[in-house]
Amino acid sequence: MADVLLTRDGRPAAALWPASGFVHLNHGSYGRVPLAAVDHQQRLRQEMEHGTARFMARAPERVRRSREEIAPFLGVDAQLLALVPNASAGVSTALRSMPLPAGSEVVVTDHAYGAVRMGVDRAAREAGAAVKVATVPLDADAETAADAIWSVVTERTAMIVLDQITSPTARLLPVGEVCARARARGIVTVVDGAHAPLLLTDPVRAAGADVWVGNLHKFASTPRGTAALVAHEGVADRLRPLIDSWGAPHPYPHRFDQQGSDDYTAWLTAPMALHHLEDELGWDRIRAHATSMAERAVARVSEALADTYDDDPAVQVGMPVGPIRLAGLPAAVAVRPDELRARFIAAGFEATFTEHDGRLFWRVSPHAYTTEADLDELIERGLALLSRASTAVGG
Ligand SMILES: Cc1ncc(COP(=O)(O)O)c(C=O)c1O
C-alpha cells in the first residue's frame, strides 16, 4: 500500500479536502467534508437565499431524490431509508416511536456512546422501564460478546440498543447474531451504526436490525447533519420523525422528508459527496488506505510508547475494525481524555482519546488524505505531548 493515496488522475487525495492546518487523525469524530461538497452546499444555500419559498416548496421532492441516490451506497431500498440529522436523533426517533412498556427492560452494553445512553436512560425512566447493561470484555470475540449481551436478556426485555462500531473502544459488536436471536424472541433491536456507513461494506444487511442508524457525516464525509435511518419492513409504519411537520400524514419514509423550516442543503449535498469520492478515489481504495494507515499508526505509536514507558500499553481488541483503531496509553498518562484532546488541538493535532474500564486509549481514525508523513509528525511531536501530560500529573 502506497504511503500517499492518489486520485484517479494522479493528485494526492489530500488535494480534495480544504487545508485544515492540522495533522488530522480523527476523521471518526466529526468527519471532514471534501472541497467540492463544501462548494456544492454553498451553491445550494445561495439558491435557497435567492428564492426561499420556491426552494422550500421543492425541498421534500429533492430530499426524496437524495434518499434514492444514497440508498445504493448503503445497499438498502430507498423506501426503507429516512434521513435524520445525526445518529443521536436516529436512536431518539426509535425510542420515541416504539415506547418501552412499563416494567420492561432495555439492554445496552458498557461500550455504548455516552449521549445515546443518556437518551436510553431517559426513555426508560419516563416509561418505568429498567436499563440492563451487558459487560463486554474488550478482547471478546464475536461469540463471547454475543453471549455477554444475551446474558442480561430476560423475559422482560423489550428492546436491545447496540453499537455496531463502539465509540470508546473502536470494536465491532456481533450485532447480526444478537438481532437475529432477538427477532426470534419478539425483542425490538436498534443498531447505532454511527461510524459504519462506507467504513463497512454492507452494514445494514449485516446488522439485520429493526432500526439501524448511521452517520453519513463521519467516514462517508458528507456535510454534517446527515444520517440515515433504515427501518425493517416490520416496524417502518411505527416510525415517526421527532419533528411533526407537513409530512406527518404521509407514510414512512416520506413523512421524514419535511422537517419544518430547516436547512436541507446537507441532505441535498450528500449524494454528490458520496459520488465525488467514489469517482475521484473509489470507496474500496479509501477503505484499504485508511485501514493500512490505521494499522501503521497503532503499530508505530505502540512501539514508541513501549520504548518510552515501563508498562506495556499494548491492547487486545476483539473484533477490531479496519480504519478505526485503538492504541493503549500507559498508566503514567493520567490525564482526562478531553484535556488530552485539548492539548493536542493546541499543538495542531486533530486527535481523540477515550476511556473505558479504567484505561485510557488513543483512537486513531485516518482517511484517504492521511500520509506516512502525518504519522511521522504524530510520533515526533504527539508522543512528546503525552510525556508532558504524564510529567505534569506526576509533578
Ligand atoms: C457509536 C456512536 N453513536 C452515536 C454517536 C453520535 O453521533 P451524532 O453526534 O452525529 O449524533 C457517535 C459519535 O461519535 C458514536 O460514535
Q: Which three cell numbers stand for residue 277?
A: 469520492
Q: How far is the CA of 161 from the centre of ligand 1 (A)?
A: 13
Q: Which residues pair with 162 in a beta bridge?
A: 191
Indicate the pLDDT class of residue 20, thresholds 50, 70 and 90: confident
pLDDT of 392: 46
- Going by C-alpha positions, the residue among 392, 389, 318 that lies closest to residue 351 is 389
pLDDT of 393: 41
Pick the CATH number of 37-277 from 3.40.640.10, 3.40.50.720, 3.40.190.10, 3.50.50.60: 3.40.640.10
pLDDT of 334: 83
Task: Kindly compute the dihedral angle of the four CA atoms of residues 330, 333, 337, 342, in this order, to the nearest 10 degrees.
Answer: -130
CB neighbours of 196 closer than 8 A, spacing ≥ 6?
A: 164, 165, 203, 214, 219
Q: For residue 243, what is the DSSP state?
A: S
Indicate the pLDDT class of residue 207, thresholds 50, 70 and 90: very high
- Going by C-alpha positions, the residue among 232, 271, 229, 248 that lies closest to residue 81 is 229
Q: Which atom of ligand 1 has the smallest separation from the CA of 163?
A: 1
User: What CA–CA distance (Å, rounded) separates 158 from 103?
Assistant: 10
Q: Which atom of ligand 1 has the smallest separation from the CA of 28?
A: 14
Residue tagged 446488522 (cell numbers) = 207
Q: Is the CB of 264 under 6 A from ligand 1?
A: no
In this model, does residue 144 exceed pLDDT 50? Answer: yes
Q: Is the CB of 163 under 6 A from ligand 1?
A: yes
For the chain, the average pLDDT equals 96
Q: Which atom of ligand 1 has the smallest separation from the CA of 29?
A: 14
Helix (H, G, I), strand (E, B) or coil at 381: helix
pLDDT tens digits, one per residue of 67-102? 999 999 999 999 999 999 999 999 999 999 999 999
Q: How far is the CA of 85 from the centre of ligand 1 (A)?
A: 11
Q: Where along the chain do its domains lie?
A: 13-30+282-388, 37-277
Of the CA atoms within 13 Å of residue 5, those in its CB half-sphere come to 24
- Going by C-alpha positions, the residue among 90, 99, 122 that lies closest to residue 190 is 90
User: What CA–CA distance (Å, rounded) separates 116 from 122?
Assistant: 10
Q: Is the CB of 365 under 6 A from ligand 1?
A: no
Query: Are 13-30+282-388 and 37-277 the same fold in CATH?
Result: no
Angle at the Cα of 211 from the Cα atoms of 208 and 212, rounded to 5 degrees:
70
Q: Which three cell numbers stand for residue 162?
A: 447496540
Alpha-helix residue ranges (DSSP H) falling in the chain: 27-30, 35-49, 52-74, 87-97, 114-127, 142-150, 175-184, 203-207, 265-280, 283-308, 337-346, 372-377, 383-394
Fold of 13-30+282-388: Aspartate Aminotransferase, domain 1 (3.90.1150)
Stretch 363-391: mean pLDDT = 90
